[in-house]
Chain A
Amino acid sequence: MDPSATGSTGVRVAGVGMTPFESDSGRSLTDLAAAAAERALADAAVDPADVDALHFGNALAEALDESAGLANALAAALGLDGASADRIENTSATGASAFHRGVEGIEGGAAGGAESDRTDVALVVGAEKMSAGDTSDVTEAISRLVHRREYAQGITLPSFGGLAAGAYLGRHDAPREALAAVAAKNHGNAVDNPVAQFRKPIDVADALDSPVVAAPLRLYDCCPMSDGAAAVVLTRGGDRGDDESVADAADPDSETFRAPRVAGIASATGTHAVAERPDPLAIDSVRTAGDRVFDRAGIRPDDVDVACIHDAFTVLELIELEELGFYETGTAWEATLDGDTALDGDLPVNPGGGLKARGHPLGATGLSQIVELVWQLRGDLPETRRVDGAETGFAINVAGFGNNSVCTVLRA
């Protein structure tokens, strides 16, 4: 069999762990990161001494006056002496970019070089402590993510969300309730997720009654600011071209059975100045990264059993689902109202609550999506929040308002 046609990277997620996401953890950034890392190492049954590479994702440390040299401090805290270590920053897609680097590090090592130089075990950690600054500091730091001519107009990320939401509802003649239904679904999914920031169910009326942030978006259409960390342990193994590994992976009693395979991962940048997009509802980076990852994984959107979508604003869940090809343009809102994206629907979206209700600690978010998918694919979740029989999981983590997107496909 030609390995290039098999749709797999040869990298497995051997273990995952995360801290609860919360508005103010009262813990330091390194503490949060180390707690998530220790859970992932324990879950993978990997000794810290066996970690070859540490990739640490964090977005806002400099803006919020936290310490530099984060990866080295974390390596020391975990006792990873001798491991390589680096820090990755890609604004709100920092977590998925760190995951991407971890996968590439193991894949690159497989291409050649001395065995002692290879990365066989990578620890990828994402953490953010947004409570480190007061709200206006964080808002200011995030508002600097836009183009300077956008900044001059006082434009913030929710401003883009409001413009896109108005355009979406107007063009597709969709009711305002469609956005509220995304919020209600994702809040409902978080109720039974112990690591979610918001575990109180809300209904469509609650969302429609919340204060306006950027019309037509209201408070319940927008993700919160969060503290939290998430981590994964990546290992080599399970190439699909290797018959023995395939048999091994299919055996529930084997060691590797519980380690989902990274079937594909891809990143893409898009237009930086949001206004320059020919269509305010078209996000090139989402479409490009999606096309690439489906191609690399050798699957189509139809094959996905569960998806984690970057719902920083409710309207983004709808736009991304359409840009990625899960739904025809202008139809994701109807699918949402019909319950298609609910936990028991055809395509469960954000079963852990999404950014909306699980929370959005920038550096950790993309990794928390991977953690959720691994839990779903392993099936080790209570029935109330499990997608039955899920074998293929998809995640998209988006930087800014679509400046850069990272897509991942995992297979059980």
Chain B
Amino acid sequence: MTVSNQGVRGSTDDGLPADHAFVCDDCGRRWYYDRRSCPDCGRSSADASAVRLETGAVVATTTVETTPPDVRAPNHLALIRFDGVRLIAQAADGDLSPGDSVRFDGSHRLREGRDRTDPRLVAVEDP
């Protein structure tokens, strides 16, 4: 699936769904955290596409007990390495460990009071 990046820049919403990264149309470089241009070739991010992330590997995890008022407590978080990007996202539960394989799944309100929903990280069984 490819999602247009148009309308993301400068808007006040949270941008792409949590399971999508940007990909440069020119050189194929991926990035997750919005930026104005491709870090490799410099092409404007207005020309970038979005790509859905498949399977990643857990690098580190934490469970946060003290969270902002509109965020669940405890908040299970994991630092994940996907193909071409690294990101920190909410996990469905606190059972992930470094080295585990994960993918995004489901539809959850990550901060209360927002009208959008996003997937969370879940473990995938090794084939």
**Interface residues in chain A, defined as those with a beta carbon under 8 Å from any beta carbon in chain B:** 136, 139-140, 143, 147-156, 158-159, 162-167, 170, 211-217, 272-278, 280
- Residue of A148, A150, A214, A272 near B64 (CB, 8 A) is A214
- Residue of A140, A147, A214, A277 near B62 (CB, 8 A) is A214
How far is B88's CA from A151's CA once the two chains are assembled, in angstroms?
A: 10
- Residue of B18, B61, B86 near A152 (CB, 8 A) is B18
B75 at the interface (CB under 8 A from A): yes
Bitwise, B75-90 to A at CB < 8 A (1) or not (0) is: 1010100000011111
Q: By the criterion CB–CB under 8 Å, are B34 and A153 in contact?
A: no
Q: By the criterion CB–CB under 8 Å, are B34 and A159 in contact?
A: no
How far is B31's CA from A151's CA once the two chains are assembled, in angstroms?
A: 17
B59 at the interface (CB under 8 A from A): yes
B103 at the interface (CB under 8 A from A): no
| Most chain A CB inside 10 Å of its own CB: which residue of B87, B88, B111 | B88
- Residue of A152, A162, A167, A213 near B111 (CB, 8 A) is A152
How far is B67's CA from A45's CA once the two chains are assembled, in angstroms?
A: 47
Known: A159-B75, A280-B79. 14 other contacts (CB 8 A): A149-B14, A153-B89, A155-B88, A159-B62, A162-B63, A162-B77, A163-B61, A212-B63, A273-B32, A275-B79, A275-B86, A276-B33, A276-B86, A278-B86
Q: By the criterion CB–CB under 8 Å, are B68 and A143 in contact?
A: yes
B28 at the interface (CB under 8 A from A): no
| Most chain A CB inside 10 Å of its own CB: which residue of B60, B62, B86 | B62
A143 contact set on B, CB distance < 8 A = 68
- Residue in chain B with minimal CB distance to A142: B68
Min CB gap A325→B, angstroms: 24
A278 contact set on B, CB distance < 8 A = 86
Chain B 42-99 residues near chain A, CB threshold 8 A? 59-72, 75, 77, 79, 86-90, 98
- Residue in chain B with minimal CB distance to A155: B88
13 examples of A-B residue contacts, CB within 8 angstroms: A149-B15, A149-B33, A151-B14, A152-B111, A154-B64, A154-B77, A162-B63, A167-B98, A214-B63, A215-B64, A216-B62, A274-B88, A276-B33
B18 contact set on A, CB distance < 8 A = 152-153
Min CB gap A158→B, angstroms: 6
Min CB gap A148→B, angstroms: 7
* Closest A-B pairs by Cβ, 6 of them: A162-B62, A154-B71, A273-B33, A167-B60, A152-B14, A214-B64
How far is B16's CA from A147's CA once the two chains are assembled, in angstroms?
A: 14
| Most chain A CB inside 10 Å of its own CB: which residue of B33, B70, B89 | B33
- Residue in chain B with minimal CB distance to A143: B68
How far is B60's CA from A165's CA once the two chains are assembled, in angstroms?
A: 9
Bitwise, B15-32 to A at CB < 8 A (1) or not (0) is: 100100000000000011
B110 at the interface (CB under 8 A from A): yes
Q: By the criterion CB–CB under 8 Å, are A158 and B66 in contact?
A: yes
How far is B70's CA from A214's CA once the two chains are assembled, in angstroms?
A: 17
Min CB gap B114→A, angstroms: 8
Q: Assuming A163-B77, A275-B33, A275-B87, is B66 touching A214 (CB within 8 A)?
A: yes
Q: By the criterion CB–CB under 8 Å, are B64 and A162 in contact?
A: yes
| Most chain B CB inside 10 Å of its own CB: which residue of A147, A170, A275, A277 | A275
- Residue in chain A with minimal CB distance to B12: A148
How far is B72's CA from A154's CA once the two chains are assembled, in angstroms?
A: 8
Q: By the criterion CB–CB under 8 Å, are A163 and B62 in contact?
A: yes
- Residue of A147, A162, A216 near B33 (CB, 8 A) is A147
- Residue of B14, B68, B87 near A156 (CB, 8 A) is B68
Q: Assuming A156-B68, A214-B65, A215-B62, is B75 touching A275 (CB within 8 A)?
A: no
Q: By the criterion CB–CB under 8 Å, are B77 and A155 in contact?
A: yes
- Residue of B14, B61, B62 near A148 (CB, 8 A) is B14
B68 contact set on A, CB distance < 8 A = 136, 139-140, 143, 154, 156
Q: By the criterion CB–CB under 8 Å, are B64 and A156 in contact?
A: yes
How far is B25's CA from A283's CA once the two chains are assembled, in angstroms?
A: 30
Min CB gap B72→A, angstroms: 7
B14 contact set on A, CB distance < 8 A = 148-149, 151-152
Q: By the criterion CB–CB under 8 Å, are B64 and A170 in contact?
A: no
